[in-house]
């Protein structure tokens, strides 16, 4: 698949089926549940720094880290 076609499909549909990784699950596969977590200031500062490097929110970074550790990403 050419990159132009891939980019077009990303904009128009869910593209998880294009990847050959059985561990990858669509976020739609899960019901959402709110969770409140307290971190030390030092850990939170590290999370903020890493999230900024990746141009994402701290909350999203935490979701990615947890999903990776659980083996779903």
Please give the Cα distance from 60 to 27 (Å, whole number): 12
Q: Are 57 and 51 in contact (CB under 8 A)?
A: yes
pLDDT at res. 57: 92
pLDDT at res. 71: 79
pLDDT at res. 32: 76
Instruction: Find tokens 């701290």 and name the residue.
Output: 58
Please give the Cα distance from 25 to 57 (Å, whole number): 21
Domain boundaries, the chain: 21-70
Structure tokens at 66: 């947890």
pLDDT along the chain (73 residues), means of 10: 67 60 58 87 95 92 88 73
pLDDT at res. 73: 65
CATH top-level class of 21-70: mainly alpha
pTM of the predicted model, to two decimals? 0.59
pLDDT at res. 68: 85
């Amino acid at each position: 698949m050419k990159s132009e076609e891939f980019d077009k499909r990303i904009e128009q549909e869910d593209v998880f089926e294009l990847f050959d990784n059985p561990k990858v699950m669509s976020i739609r596969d899960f019901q959402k549940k709110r969770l409140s977590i307290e971190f030390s200031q030092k850990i939170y500062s590290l999370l903020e720094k890493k999230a900024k490097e990746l141009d994402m929110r701290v909350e999203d970074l935490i979701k990615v880290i947890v999903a990776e550790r659980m083996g779903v990403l």
